[in-house]
Amino acid sequence: MLLRPLVLVAACLPLPLPALAAHSVWTDVPPPAAAPLNVVRFYNRISGWAAGSGGTLERFDRGTWQNAPSGTDEDLFGLAVLGSGVAWAVGDHGTILRFDGSRWIPHAQSKAVTLLPLHAVAFLNPDNGWAVGGDANNPGLGGIILHYNGSSWVSATTTSDPLYDLALLSSDFVWFCGGNRRIIRFDGNVFTNRISPILDGRAWRAVEFPFRSIGWFAGEQASLVTYEASSDGFLNYGAVGTLTTQALNDISFLAGDFKGYVVGDQGVRVYMENLNATVEATGGGDLHAVQLINDLEGAAVGGSGTGRILMQRVVTGETTLKQVRVWPNPFDPSSGQRVTLDRLPNDVSRLEVFTLGGERLAALGDGVTYDADTGVARWEGHRRDGRAVASGTYPYRVGTKSGLAARGLILVARR
C-alpha cells in the first residue's frame, strides 16, 4: 500500500520545569574589518554572513566572525543564505555574487541585468529567488524587481521609485517596499502597486511578514506600521506609534511568532512583542540590519565610518527547554515525513518518541538524529524497524545532561 505524506505539529503538555537562569543580552563584538556593515543573514545558529561597504564580507562560523574575500570592491547591501555552502549577495551597480561553498564569485549576469544598486535578495528555494533595487541618490531612475528562475536573473518589473526590501513567504506571497511610500504585492501572477497613506512621502526601508495575514513595515521618519490583510487581499494600516526620532532600517521576526526586533540610526533597537513596541537601547553606531536566529540568539550590524556587530547571546552556562519547537505545521501542504525539533540546547542526552500506549518508537541514535551545534533534532516519522507510523498522536520526551526535562506531543496526519 502506498503511504501518503505526513504532516505534523507539536502541542506542549503542561509540566513543571526547573527554574531557569538562562537569558540573553546584546553585546558589541569586534568586527574583523573596519568597514560599515549593511546586512546580516544566518543559516543556523553557528553559520552566517554579514556584508557591507567596499565588498566587505564577514563569515560567522561556530561563534567567531572572520573576514572573507568577496572579489569585489562594490558596496554590498543584500544577502540570502540557503545553506552552509550556498549564499547570494547583491550590491551597487547591479552586483550579484554567489557563494559556491568555498569562495564568492560574480554571477554571470552581474552588472548585466541592471546597473542600479541592488538592496535586498531572498530565496524561497534554490530555483526561486527575488532581488530589488533602485538608486536612493537618483530616485528619478526608479526601481527594479529581479526574479531568479534557477539559472538566470530576469527583470520582472520596474517601478517609478527605488525599492529597498522584500518579504518572501511563498511563490504567491511576496511583498516589496521602497521610496515614496511604495508598497508592491505579487500574488503569483500580478504585481499590485500601492502608495501607503502615511509616512509623508518618505521611504519604507524594511518589510517583514511572520504570518501571511499580518506584517510590519519600517522606514524613515521613525515610522513603524503593522499591516493586516484586508478582504480585498491587500492591507489595512495600523501605526504602532512614534517610538524614536531616528530612521528605522530593518526588522526581524521569527517565522510564525509575534516577537521581533527593529533597528535604526544611532543604534536604536526596538523590541516587539504582539503589538507592543519598546525602545530597548540607543547609542553607538547606526544599525542597518538585524536577524533573529531563535528566541535567544541573533545579530545586528551597522556602523558609521567603522563596522559594528551586535550579538544577542545566551549569557549563562545553563540550557533551557522552554523554547523547543516541533514542526512542520500540519496545514503546510509541502510538509513531508520528517519531524524537526529545533531550539534545543547543546547538551541533549535523551530524546524519545512513543506511542500513546508507551511503546518507544524511536530515540537518539535509533531513528532520531541530533546536531548539538545547531540545536536541531530530526525524526523521519518511522518506527525503529523502518515502518512509517500511522496517523495519530505521539508523545515525545527530551532531557539534557544538566537535568532539564520536557515533553510534548507530535500529531501525525496522513494526507
CA distance 57 to 32: 10
DSSP 10-55: EEEPP-PPPP----EEEEEE--SSSS-EEEEEEEETTEEEEEEGGG
Tell me how far CA of residue 116 lies from CA of 73, 92, 144, 293, in angstroms: 16, 7, 8, 31
Q: What pLDDT was estimated at residue 215?
A: 84
Would you call 265 helix, strand, or coil by DSSP?
helix
Q: Is residue 345 part of a domain?
A: yes
Give the chain's mean pLDDT: 83
Percentage, residues of the chain above pLDDT 90: 47
* Across 80-94, 140-154, 195-209, 220-234, least confident range: 220-234
Sign of the CA dihedral 67, 68, 72, 77? negative
And the C-alpha cell for 290? 538585524
Residue with cell 511568532: 257
Regarding whether 306 and 369 lie in a shared domain, the answer is: no
Residue with cell 541592471: 114
The last residue of one of the domains, among 314, 330, 363, is: 314
Q: What CATH number has the domain bearing residue 140?
A: 2.130.10.10
pLDDT band at 409 (very low <50, low <70, confident <90, very high): confident
The last residue of one of the domains, among 283, 314, 345, is: 314
b/e per residue, 355-371, with b = 16+ CB within 10 A? eeeeeebbbbeebbebe
pLDDT band at 406 (very low <50, low <70, confident <90, very high): confident
Would you call 106 helix, strand, or coil by DSSP?
strand
Query: In which element (H, E) is residue 289 found?
Result: strand 287-292
Burial of 340 (0-12, 13-18, 19+ CB in 10 A): middle
pLDDT band at 290 (very low <50, low <70, confident <90, very high): very high
pLDDT band at 314 (very low <50, low <70, confident <90, very high): low
Regarding whether 305 and 369 lie in a shared domain, the answer is: no
Q: Is residue 384 part of a domain?
A: yes
CA distance 57 to 59: 7
Strands (E), 108-247: 118-125, 128-134, 143-148, 153-159, 163-170, 173-178, 182-186, 191-195, 204-208, 214-219, 223-229, 235-239
Q: Is residue 124 part of a domain?
A: yes
Q: Does the pLDDT value for residue 147 go beyond 50?
A: yes
Q: Does the pLDDT value for residue 361 go beyond 90?
A: yes
Q: What pLDDT was estimated at residue 55?
A: 97
Q: Is residue 34 part of a domain?
A: yes
Q: What CATH number has the domain bearing residue 363?
A: 2.60.40
Q: Is residue 310 part of a domain?
A: yes
Regarding whether 266 and 406 lie in a shared domain, the answer is: no
pLDDT: is 330 or 111 the higher one?
111
Regarding whether 159 and 140 lie in a shared domain, the answer is: yes
Domain count across the chain: 2
Q: Is residue 220 part of a domain?
A: yes
Regarding whether 113 and 254 lie in a shared domain, the answer is: yes
Q: What is the pLDDT of residues 8-62, one digit of tens each?
A: 333 333 333 333 334 468 999 999 989 999 999 998 888 999 999 999 999 998 8
Q: Is residue 1 part of a domain?
A: no
Regarding whether 75 and 59 lie in a shared domain, the answer is: yes
Give the mean pLDDT of 307-324: 69
The last residue of one of the domains, among 314, 330, 354, is: 314
Regarding whether 192 and 138 lie in a shared domain, the answer is: yes
Q: Is residue 73 part of a domain?
A: yes
And the C-alpha cell for 108? 554571470
How many CB atoms are closer than 10 A to CB 209?
22
Regarding whether 83 and 192 lie in a shared domain, the answer is: yes
Q: Give me the residues paired with residue 6 across strands.
A: 414
Regarding whether 47 and 10 lie in a shared domain, the answer is: no
Q: Give the domain extent around 104.
A: 24-314
Regarding whether 322 and 394 lie in a shared domain, the answer is: yes
Regarding whether 196 and 67 lie in a shared domain, the answer is: yes
Q: What pLDDT was estimated at residue 236?
A: 63
Q: Does the pLDDT value for residue 230 go beyond 70?
A: no
And the C-alpha cell for 114? 541592471
Regarding whether 360 and 238 lie in a shared domain, the answer is: no
Would you call 267 helix, strand, or coil by DSSP?
helix
